[in-house]
Amino acid sequence: MRIGILTGGGDCPGLNAVIRAIVRKSVQSGDEVVGFRDGWRGVLEGDTVPMDLAAVRGILPRGGTVLGTSRTNPYALQGGGDRVLATLERLGVDALIPIGGEDTLGVATKLAEAGVRVVGVPKTIDNDLDATDYTFGFDTALGVATEAIDRLHTTGDSHHRTLVVEVMGRHAGWIALHAGMAGGATVVLIPEQPFDVDAVVEHCQRRFDSGYSPIVVVSEGAKPKDGDWVLTTGEKDAFGHVRLGGIGTALASLIEERTGRESRAVVLGHIQRGGTPSPFDRVLATRFGLAAHDAVHAGETGVMVALRGTDIVRVALTEATAQLKLVPVERYAEVEVFFG
Amino acid sequence: MRIGILTGGGDCPGLNAVIRAIVRKSVQSGDEVVGFRDGWRGVLEGDTVPMDLAAVRGILPRGGTVLGTSRTNPYALQGGGDRVLATLERLGVDALIPIGGEDTLGVATKLAEAGVRVVGVPKTIDNDLDATDYTFGFDTALGVATEAIDRLHTTGDSHHRTLVVEVMGRHAGWIALHAGMAGGATVVLIPEQPFDVDAVVEHCQRRFDSGYSPIVVVSEGAKPKDGDWVLTTGEKDAFGHVRLGGIGTALASLIEERTGRESRAVVLGHIQRGGTPSPFDRVLATRFGLAAHDAVHAGETGVMVALRGTDIVRVALTEATAQLKLVPVERYAEVEVFFG
Amino acid sequence: MRIGILTGGGDCPGLNAVIRAIVRKSVQSGDEVVGFRDGWRGVLEGDTVPMDLAAVRGILPRGGTVLGTSRTNPYALQGGGDRVLATLERLGVDALIPIGGEDTLGVATKLAEAGVRVVGVPKTIDNDLDATDYTFGFDTALGVATEAIDRLHTTGDSHHRTLVVEVMGRHAGWIALHAGMAGGATVVLIPEQPFDVDAVVEHCQRRFDSGYSPIVVVSEGAKPKDGDWVLTTGEKDAFGHVRLGGIGTALASLIEERTGRESRAVVLGHIQRGGTPSPFDRVLATRFGLAAHDAVHAGETGVMVALRGTDIVRVALTEATAQLKLVPVERYAEVEVFFG
Amino acid sequence: MRIGILTGGGDCPGLNAVIRAIVRKSVQSGDEVVGFRDGWRGVLEGDTVPMDLAAVRGILPRGGTVLGTSRTNPYALQGGGDRVLATLERLGVDALIPIGGEDTLGVATKLAEAGVRVVGVPKTIDNDLDATDYTFGFDTALGVATEAIDRLHTTGDSHHRTLVVEVMGRHAGWIALHAGMAGGATVVLIPEQPFDVDAVVEHCQRRFDSGYSPIVVVSEGAKPKDGDWVLTTGEKDAFGHVRLGGIGTALASLIEERTGRESRAVVLGHIQRGGTPSPFDRVLATRFGLAAHDAVHAGETGVMVALRGTDIVRVALTEATAQLKLVPVERYAEVEVFFG
């Protein structure tokens, strides 16, 4: 059997573990694996690399993806879908395992409808895919964010200043929620719960009153409750680019003003998605890869592998991408116990 | 309400996070928390420490337990059960939250039967409790073991020698299974699957043939399949103590002999259970603590909190301690894909 | 003997190790230690804390300073110098050990001239003090910066984009130099060597041509060579604060424009100065503390402890603060070997 | 120019950084680099690998040595020296850069005397080479040992038991000294200072009395002062191999017996020498590689590069290997301040 694989969208620690698992299992079962470079771009252009044992040696502990990635969406291009089908036909690809997020799996869904045998592997560092308990990469990002918070506690306390840590999470606040709980944050702000500025300031003040300094953990997509406080837009940097400071920087200014104490923002950015995957992510990614190969051999199509409890299951691709997994109010209530 | 807490058995990263969560939630709900020192010994002897906000400041990222622990089992002592009941009565303890493993929860079960309001929090670094998907401490141990394996790969390859890593796991091989999968081990040996010596040697040989050096990950409780190879016992160290080298050391000797290449054993031992808990464990332990407090307030008794998927649920203590959670054969088959 | 200690200026991993060493050695020699809170503010206001064994338990591995810190300079205040002398007199302080940077040691110098027995301990995370081979905190910051670069390599390569990492170093480029060399940076830019924009772009381009993605490490104080490219100032954030993106963000924009490939900036900020000190820093800080106590007992004043090779020596405070230690051109030439 | 390189003896984090630096600098200067596999074995047998840019891509952060290593000593073999000279002649090697410890540099010395242009790079994880302030690998080993000690503190305290940590150091106690100081050990035992058993037990007892548990850090080569306590030898493991428990295990038994409290030993072993080098080691190793290349180009022979303060200097090979660098009594006195 000839299996095509590709990685699309933002990179995520664990992608290489998925790739390696598919290749190792394929070698065992006598299948051949074709890697497409840079996501759907490689499929569109027939840009491939043979994935044998040598190609996956030593990649398990490495971040990123040896296949490269891109945000290319074939269905956004004139005749893109047909070109994809043509490439698969020409290369004799019997089944395709795309590893990616909403966008990549959306393309996968359409290909499945077009008759291609497709088994998806979910990837989102934000952990916001509804059909699976966890996605790989999330635990690694959580580790980076928590280590940063651990580090900031002592510097904050020494200077009696507030530290605001901005973490990833455009629509879902999972990283902020877990890192805030694991790091002992004074306040955690997430997109799902528009925040009250007064309450944030009050929690910080209460923390100062107790003799310690506040750490505020905020998702990049968090927003204030009341419409009266907004991030202005349109400022430009030295090159004329709009480089607006995000919510973290804005909050730090606000808290400084309102508490009368120094405040600093730290924007973790890309270090959250790079580097060696945590053991949890390596195991999850490896199991996803093995399970995707199994699903292909079982003749499945239009499905995605997913984690449920400790089991890897198969769910319909359509169901998988139907809605975002947001932080429910009772989970937020858990972390609120520790505010202030 | 007056809530007693204690930690029993071997220590585990995350115990302090449980303690902190119970105390923080209790402060919020107006309850008082009494800490018993060194597990059931503290209850037997009425050795207590008041657990207020100050007592739990800064303990979230710290390993071990601020309450101390012991392996004391009151029911193994003459009149021990009665002394426990008397202490609880005398101190006006309305509910008890024991945090511990099989032994500690066994005592908890008996106390519940004796009419004490008891809610248990499960703790086993080996992850071998059947009623919960994961226990805290396991992910931290996994992190230590995987980092060690990562380190050993390059030194093994440089010297063309086999490295055997012995990890915790007396009855269940979860740490070996996950660390072996995460670390890219050549062979993984667990108690649940008695191993074939020839097969182990063959995997190592195959690894050497491919130009790399083997890493063998072995649970302390793993055993060979055939009765013909046994660990001799009875050797004594300089002080007359029996200090038999474990399975790791024995295997290293055997592999050296059979492959004709140098072999070394590394026994990770206590560094697996010490140190700061991983973010995963801090979150799980915190949620367990909060859920235990909720269960107490809900009037529950004879139950234990447990993780099922992403939810914290309550299960009967009797059910919880009924049987060990062993590595099923299909999970072992996953890691076997990577042998050799 | 009664010894006063204080920590001034920005916090730095290792401060607690210095404090602990002074206290432990004092207990051994029968001296008493008085801690002043928040640097010179504590001396001005007589805000003290007794530093005994209990006060230093467990602080060795902790970042920050248990004494707190501030940027208060008594000589910048009306009558500040006299108030300091009065406090020391009143509290019967026989000798003072201030731990701090240029500013703190400048005050120390004046106090020595005023007849106070003063032995300084140098602290600068930027490693820019000329009289000592290394200062504690630098190695820890280097560790954080290098780990970040390690993480960014794989995400950069996966997306074929440039990553610019801005590290500390206002006047001296030591952190950028060492982290850039340790992390395998494509270009390293430091304040001592105004950079040529074209050359930077060319190095990045060359890296892309080789099939990998560039990492640019830049000190916060680095500046372009030619006057034609400047960072504009005066932009304001949502609160009207001037929150100009620094050199890292500006460079990322520039490189993106000139290479035609995506570029992202990561500003490490405060995580570089927080958290547990590296072993190197713990040892250096401990030895500094012991040596400062020895110098006090030897009757020295107006001196500072310093590292020369593997020895801790004493140098005149005046000499110590005379000039910054900048990166010499031959050290920069070393890292230039790896550009492109 | 044609430069030969090889790595000999035990592996050490940083070897790859040296190799990469030599190759990168050689590419810049138009030299060719020939790598010999597995130390002197590769020279004896003419087993080589071309070392170009591709060969050193990505190796900077990796432990071990891509060239492989062995303990082969050509001068211990009949006609070995002549075979080495013949290989160098045949391959047209103009200069040789051996990277290794006492043994490897001893061979280098003889080759220099035989007229080969040789520049050595020192390597010893134990840091026991007298001619250089530090060798790479030591800081990484220190990091592993210190992290282990950090982890063991909390588990020791929770169980009120002594933990003995055995670290590398056969003749010199540098790792124990620095890790013990960095980790806050209760006692540190090194080969240079035969220890008094009673004093060790007393320090442990004192630590217990203060409410905490002792950590004893011991070099593998440490020995008791009095002849009356010796490690018996000759015990055999399951395979008839003599696998005597080392000093760590023996000490743990002794302390348990004498304090009446549980005691456990942890033998760190090979994890100390594996894994990614610390930033300090990467910088030092890179600078050693560059400086060795410079020395070759400067026409030097019979020299070794060495660290003095912050400078890389050249010293005679004969001088370099003349004597071991042992821990001086005043350095041990520093750590003794913290005993008990």
Q: What is the pLDDT along chain A (340 residues), one digit of tens a residue?
A: 999 999 999 999 999 999 999 999 999 999 999 999 999 999 999 999 999 999 999 999 999 999 999 999 999 999 999 999 999 999 999 999 999 999 999 999 999 999 999 999 999 999 999 999 999 999 999 999 999 999 999 999 999 999 999 999 999 999 999 999 999 999 999 999 999 999 999 999 999 999 999 999 999 999 998 765 655 444 444 444 444 568 999 999 999 999 999 999 999 999 999 899 999 999 999 999 999 999 999 999 999 999 999 999 999 999 887 889 999 999 999 999 999 9
Report chain B's mean pLDDT, rounded to a whole number: 93
Q: What are phi and psi of C98, to 5 degrees?
A: -85, 135
D28:C337 CB<8 A: yes
Q: Which of residues 275-294 of D touch B (CB under 8 A)?
A: 275-276
Looking at the complex, does the CB of residue B21 fall below 8 Å from at least one CB of chain A? Answer: yes
From the list D60, D133, D278, the residue facing C310 with the nearest CB is D133
Residue % of chain C over a pLDDT of 90: 90
Looking at the complex, does the CB of residue B69 fall below 8 Å from at least one CB of chain D? Answer: yes
At residue A156, the pLDDT reads 93
C24:D338 CB<8 A: yes
Chain C contact set for A214 (CB, 8 A): none
With CA atoms as reference, the chain B residue closest to D163 would be B270
Per-residue pLDDT tens over the stretch D128-179 = 999 999 999 999 999 999 999 999 999 999 999 999 999 999 999 999 999 9
With CA atoms as reference, the chain D residue closest to C278 would be D143
At residue C326, the pLDDT reads 97
For residue D191, give every residue at least 6 positions away whose Cβ sits within 8 Å of its Cβ, in sequence order, or none: D169, D170, D171, D172, D173, D219, D221, D222, D223, D326
Looking at the complex, does the CB of residue C273 fall below 8 Å from at least one CB of chain A? Answer: yes
Q: Residues of C129-138 as b/e, b for ≥16 C-beta within 10 angstroms?
A: bebbbbbbbb
From the list C158, C236, C250, the residue facing A64 with the nearest CB is C158
DSSP for A244-294, written as a single string: ---HHHHHHHHHHHHHSS-EEEEE-GGGGT-SPPPHHHHHHHHHHHHHHHH
Query: Distance, in angstroms, between A136 CA and closest chain B CA?
Result: 13
Q: Tell me the domains of chain C and their CATH numbers.
A: 2-137+275-320 (3.40.50.450), 138-272 (3.40.50.460)
Chain A contact set for B150 (CB, 8 A): 61, 276
Q: Is B168 annotated as a binding residue?
A: yes
C283 in helix, strand or coil? helix
DSSP bridge partners of C303:
C119, C316
CA distance D285 to D135: 8
Assess contact for B168 and B125: CB atoms under 8 A: yes
With CA atoms as reference, the chain A residue closest to B308 would be A309
Q: How confident is the model at residue D226 (pLDDT cuts 50, 70, 90)?
A: confident
CA distance C187 to C339: 5
> What would the mean pLDDT of B284-297 be, rounded to a whole number?
98
Looking at the complex, does the CB of residue A189 fall below 8 Å from at least one CB of chain B? Answer: no
With CA atoms as reference, the chain B residue closest to D151 would be B275
D279:C60 CB<8 A: no
How far is the CA of C159 from the CAs of A70, A289, C147, in angstroms? Answer: 7, 22, 19
Q: Is B299 annotated as a binding residue?
A: no
B245:D237 CB<8 A: yes
At residue A227, the pLDDT reads 63
Assess contact for C136 and C123: CB atoms under 8 A: yes
Q: Which structure tokens are listed for A333? A: 């209530």
From the list B146, B279, B308, the residue facing A279 with the nearest CB is B146
Assess contact for C231 and A238: CB atoms under 8 A: yes
Residue % of chain D over a pLDDT of 70: 94
Q: Which structure tokens are listed for A55? A: 């190609």
Chains with 3 or more CB pairs under 8 A to chain B: A, D
* DSSP conformational letter for B136: T
For residue C49, give every residue at least 6 positions away whose Cβ sits within 8 Å of its Cβ, in sequence order, or none: C34, C35, C37, C55, C67
* DSSP conformational letter for B242: B
Q: Would you call B133 a catalytic residue per the annotation?
A: no
Looking at the complex, does the CB of residue C65 fall below 8 Å from at least one CB of chain A? Answer: yes
pLDDT surpasses 50 at B169: yes
CA distance B75 to B84: 9
Looking at the complex, does the CB of residue D144 fall below 8 Å from at least one CB of chain C? Answer: no
Chain C contact set for D184 (CB, 8 A): 60-61
* DSSP conformational letter for C328: P
Phi-psi category of residue B116: left, alpha or beta, with phi > 0 → left and psi -120 to 50 → alpha: beta
Q: Which structure tokens are listed for A230? A: 């907004």
